Amino acid sequence: MRTGPHRAPRRARVSLTLLMLLAALPACQQGKKEEAAAPATGAAAPAPEETGEVIATYGGHKLTSGQVMRELERLPPPSRTYLAVPERKRQFIDNMIMNDLLFDEGHQAGYDRDAEIERQVEDLRKRLVVQRVMRQYQTPPTITDEQVKAYYDANPDIYSTTQIHASHILVKDEDTAKQIRDELRAHPEKFADLAKEKSIDTSTAQKGGDLGTFGQGRMVPDFERAAFALKPGEVSDVVKTQYGYHVIMVTERKEGERKPFDQVKEQIRATLRNKALQEQVQTHFDTLKKGADVKLNEDALARVNPPAAPPSPAQTTTSPGGH
């Protein structure tokens, strides 16, 4: 067997890869010393992860096959396959052990009581709780065939091979959008200039809001529905999407044929399902805020400004006397 210099880099790569896998998992043994020191109160059954054969002991810890399996089950399938090789599996165990030993070192240094770490842990706890709550409102409603057909019949301009050339102006608030709409309906020739001045869509603003020519299925449903209902030269009403408030103008339209219902019915069903889900979530948000009697002090909010970003190294001036 070759044991020369060619094996060391490969082992280092395996170790680094496994350490990155393990870094995504919380330490499986944190706090086990404190648990072991607690007085026994009876023959309580061990936690599932503590069952099985003892694979390793170190520094007061005991690593069992149950604990290892618990960590392996949390990995994605490709990582599990990667760890089927004995050498990689052994390195995975080594990294679990090192993770615990490093935690013990940090615990002795008092890092586990560091205010910044505690803040980050509390932030993570809050995000996980919010995610768990949001799952309750993420069940998509059932959309019937009758609803799909009714939508198809009510929107003859949608789901066709028609193409349009359109531009838009995107802003954050509805009042600004309404002002832009009114000005453009009186002076549509100002569209490009207003887009450059006011649109927050940085990818199109400097092109006068130009989105180019596109067909069905390229834009979000509410935007698309409004755009394809316009005739060349028409300015839309204000259109709200998840990105903000849009004002749209179509400059060219190439009529096509309407797609058969069977060809687009599942696309329509997905559109209606997503729209109903968004409304379901928004309704709950509105109910929560109403029940909490939310009041916003706009004056106080206006006085809160984000701190200036620190200068990049390239912007940092030289020290006194430097050149």
Please check whether residue 199 lies inside any domain of the structure: yes
CB 254 within 8 A of CB 237: no
How far is Cα 175 from Cα 180, in angstroms, rounded to an integer? 9
- Provide the CA 3 distance to its chain's centre, in angstroms: 46
Q: What would the pLDDT profile of 75-132 be if each residue is shown by its tens digit?
A: 999 999 999 999 999 999 999 999 999 999 999 999 999 999 999 999 999 999 999 9
- What band does 234 get if pLDDT is binned at 50, 70 and 90? very high
Do 149 and 187 fall into the same domain? Answer: no
Please check whether residue 34 lies inside any domain of the structure: no
CB 238 within 8 A of CB 171: no
Strand partners, 168: 248
Range of the domain at 269: 143-158+263-288
Residue that the structure tokens 């509410």 belong to = 222
Do 267 and 250 fall into the same domain? Answer: no
Q: What would the pLDDT profile of 253-290 be if each residue is shown by its tens digit?
A: 998 888 899 999 998 999 899 889 988 898 999 999 99
- What band does 247 get if pLDDT is binned at 50, 70 and 90? very high
Instruction: Give Cα separations from 282 to 138, 225, 277, 278, 286 (angstroms).
Output: 11, 21, 9, 6, 6
Do 236 and 278 fall into the same domain? Answer: no
Do 194 and 207 fall into the same domain? Answer: yes
Number of domains in the chain: 3
Q: What would the pLDDT profile of 189-199 be if each residue is shown by its tens digit?
A: 999 999 999 99
